[in-house]
Amino acid sequence: MIQLVMFPYAGSIINPYKEWLSLDDTEFEIIQIEYDGRGRRSFVERPENWRTLIDKTLKQVLECVDFTKEYILFGHSMGARVVADIYRKIDAMAINQPKLLIFSGSEAFRAKNYESILTAPVKKFNQFFFKLGGIPKEVIEEVELLELVTDYLREDLTLLNQFNFNRKKTKITCPVLIFNGTQEEKSELKEWTDLIGPNCQQMIFQGDHFFIRTNVQEILSVIKNKLNESK
pLDDT in tens, 132-170: 655 655 555 566 667 777 888 888 888 999 998 887 778
Q: Which burial class, exposed, middle or buried, applies to 151 when counting CB atoms under 10 A from its CB (0-12, 13-18, 19+)? A: exposed
Confidence at 131, pLDDT banded by 50, 70, 90: low
pLDDT at 132: 61
With vertex at residue 50, the alpha carbon angle to CA 179 and CA 211, rounded to the nearest 5 degrees, is 20
Which range has highest mean pLDDT (5-9, 115-119, 141-145, 182-186)?
Answer: 5-9
3-state secondary structure of 71: strand
pLDDT at 171: 83
pLDDT at 141: 59
Residue 44, pLDDT > 60, answer: yes
With vertex at residue 148, the alpha carbon angle to CA 19 and CA 181, rounded to the nearest 5 degrees, is 40
Q: Which residues contact 101 (CB under 8 A, 6 or more apart)?
A: 72, 73, 83, 84, 87, 172, 174, 175, 176, 177
Q: Which residues contact 177 (CB under 8 A, 6 or more apart)?
A: 100, 101, 102, 103, 200, 201, 202, 203, 222, 223, 226
Nearest of 187, 179, 231, 164 to residue 210 by alpha carbon: 179
pLDDT at 23: 83
pLDDT at 138: 54
Tens of pLDDT, residues 50-88: 999 999 999 999 999 999 999 999 999 999 999 999 999
pLDDT at 14: 73
- Pairing mode, strands 176-181 and 100-104: parallel
pLDDT at 142: 60
**Which whole number is the average pLDDT over 41-58?**
91
pLDDT at 13: 75
Assigned superfamily of 2-110+166-229 = Alpha/Beta hydrolase fold, catalytic domain (3.40.50.1820)
The domain locations on the chain are 2-110+166-229
**Which whole number is the average pLDDT over 201-215?**
92
Confidence at 90, pLDDT banded by 50, 70, 90: very high
